[in-house]
């Protein structure tokens, strides 16, 4: 009789357990249209790449398990200590990805979250990692236009809908305002632009890529059109032939030395002192990573390219954005450093 009771109890437990598990989970549809079963309560998020780490940090930093790389001393100065001290876990996506499934499992995340491009390559990676780790893997569209929706979805996912709504409204308002101002600028008053990456300034991004999306949004005439897909390396001779009127660069060393380099002196942007260093800390304003850090960059790019259409103080915009998104408003000394990168 006792054995029969034990067997009956085990059978009942086996039936109840899946129901209990289902009661503690739900299904969401991510930006790639994938149906993913996730826990009802999510407290631990593994960011799949740099854009995702910035995104999660802005929305729910207490859930972020770590950065893709250790923040530099300069970057740490812009972050609250408890978040600057998060470990470096590597990344699952992007060139030179450094994390693997063992790292993911050791971090014990409730979900893996990626924010950025949601094409077939990323869907395949998400499905593979999810199958190998049994950890739900969420893909969110990180394009500028889709960012408000990504905040809304992630806010529901992480239980911070009110804060997500605040960030989504800020982004949506910024995009609408930037679009309106750019539309007021005649096309013949939009300068040709070259986006210089790397210490030699010879890596760039063509229009239509996520790395050049901010320039596309500003209606800039990107001279690298047709030069490839994604990031690409070009020759100095090609840049000289393009002869851009404005250059934006992420690299401080290139910015510091380009005016003294005789091989670059023939470029219009260099001759006319229109080489601009993208504000860097804690995350560059145009790219690297292409995440929500680009939102404040839109106003800065507009101010540089079309000062008449974008009057006002970029300092005030930066102070507001940093306080809301990065959980720490910069002081005047930091703003001086951040916005001092002109030719």
In a domain, 28, yes or no: yes
* Bridging pattern class, strands 137-141 and 45-47: unpaired
pLDDT for res 258: 96
In a domain, 222, yes or no: yes
| Residue 113 near residue 183 (C-beta atoms within 8 A) | no
Q: How far apart are CA 192 and CA 126, in angstroms?
A: 38
pLDDT for res 155: 98
Based on the fold, state whether residues 190 and 333 are members of the same structural domain: yes
Q: How far apart are CA 153 and CA 130, in angstroms?
A: 19
Please provide residue 285's backbone torsions phi and psi, each rounded to the nearest 5 degrees: -80, -5
Is the model's pTM score more than 0.85?
yes
Element (H, E) at 10: helix 2-23
Based on the fold, state whether residues 231 and 149 are members of the same structural domain: no
Based on the fold, state whether residues 98 and 221 are members of the same structural domain: no
* Residue whose C-alpha is closest to residue 115's, from 95, 131, 132, 91: 91
Mean pLDDT, residues 320-324: 97
List, for residues 76-93, the tens digit of each pLDDT value.
999 999 999 999 999 998
Based on the fold, state whether residues 141 and 97 are members of the same structural domain: yes
User: Residue 341: pLDDT band by 50, 70, 90 thresholds?
Assistant: very low
List, for residues 117-151, the tens digit of each pLDDT value.
999 999 999 999 999 999 999 999 999 999 999 99
The b/e string for 161-194 (b: 16+ C-beta within 10 A; e otherwise) is eebbeebbebbeebbeebeebbeebeeeebebbb
pLDDT for res 20: 43
Based on the fold, state whether residues 76 and 150 are members of the same structural domain: yes
Q: How far apart are CA 142 and CA 209, in angstroms?
A: 12
Number of domains in the chain: 2
Based on the fold, state whether residues 198 and 167 are members of the same structural domain: no
Out of 154, 174, 194, a domain closes at 174
pLDDT for res 228: 67
Please provide residue 259's backbone torsions phi and psi, each rounded to the nearest 5 degrees: -70, -25
List, for residues 184-243, the tens digit of each pLDDT value.
999 999 999 999 999 999 999 999 999 999 999 999 999 998 776 778 999 999 999 999
In a domain, 11, yes or no: no
In a domain, 15, yes or no: no
257-260: which pairs have CB atoms within 8 A and are 24 or more residues apart? 258/201, 259/343
* Residue whose C-alpha is closest to residue 115's, from 159, 157, 56: 56
Based on the fold, state whether residues 152 and 205 are members of the same structural domain: no
Based on the fold, state whether residues 192 and 317 are members of the same structural domain: yes
Domain residues for the domain of 94 are 24-174
The angle at the Cα of 257, spanning 253 to 258, to the nearest 5 degrees, equals: 110
In a domain, 75, yes or no: yes
Q: What is the CATH number of the domain that holds 291?
A: 3.40.50.1980
Q: Which residues contact 3 (CB under 8 A, 6 or more apart)?
A: none
In a domain, 6, yes or no: no
In a domain, 156, yes or no: yes
Out of 113, 139, 174, a domain closes at 174
In a domain, 13, yes or no: no
Based on the fold, state whether residues 228 and 288 are members of the same structural domain: yes
Based on the fold, state whether residues 227 and 163 are members of the same structural domain: no
Based on the fold, state whether residues 46 and 98 are members of the same structural domain: yes
Based on the fold, state whether residues 167 and 232 are members of the same structural domain: no
Out of 123, 142, 174, a domain closes at 174
């Amino acid at each position: 009789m006792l054995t029969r009771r034990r067997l009956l109890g085990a059978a009942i437990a086996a039936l109840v357990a899946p129901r209990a598990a289902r009661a503690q989970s739900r299904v969401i549809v991510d930006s790639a249209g994938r149906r993913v079963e996730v826990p009802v309560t999510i407290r631990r998020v593994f960011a799949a790449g740099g854009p995702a780490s910035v995104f999660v940090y802005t929305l729910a930093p207490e859930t972020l398990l770590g950065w893709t790389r250790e923040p530099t001393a300069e970057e740490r100065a812009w972050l609250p200590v408890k978040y600057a001290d998060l470990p470096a876990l590597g990344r699952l996506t992007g060139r030179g990805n450094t994390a693997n499934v063992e790292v993911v499992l050791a971090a014990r995340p409730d979900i893996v979250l990626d924010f950025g491009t949601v094409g077939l390559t990323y869907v395949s990676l998400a499905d593979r990692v999810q199958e190998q780790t049994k950890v739900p893997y969420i893909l969110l569209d990180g394009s500028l236009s889709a960012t408000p929706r990504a905040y809304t979805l992630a806010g529901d996912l992480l239980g911070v809908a009110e804060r997500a709504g605040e960030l989504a409204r800020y982004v949506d308002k910024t995009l609408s305002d930037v679009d309106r101002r750019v539309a007021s600028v005649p096309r013949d008053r939009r300068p040709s632009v070259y986006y210089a990456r790397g210490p030699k300034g010879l890596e760039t991004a063509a229009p239509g890529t996520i790395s050049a999306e901010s320039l596309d949004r500003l209606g800039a005439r990107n001279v690298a059109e047709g030069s490839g897909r994604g990031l690409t390396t070009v020759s100095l001779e090609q840049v000289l032939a393009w002869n851009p009127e404005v250059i934006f660069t992420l690299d401080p060393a290139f910015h510091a030395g380009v005016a003294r380099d005789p091989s670059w002196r023939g470029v219009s942007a260099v001759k006319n002192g229109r080489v601009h260093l993208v504000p860097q800390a804690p995350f560059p304003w145009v790219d690297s990573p292409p995440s929500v850090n680009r939102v404040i960059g839109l106003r800065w790019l507009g101010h540089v390219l079309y000062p008449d259409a974008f009057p006002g103080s970029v300092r005030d915009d930066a102070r507001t954005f940093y306080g809301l998104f990065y959980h720490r408003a910069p002081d005047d000394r930091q703003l001086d450093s951040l916005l001092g990168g002109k030719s």
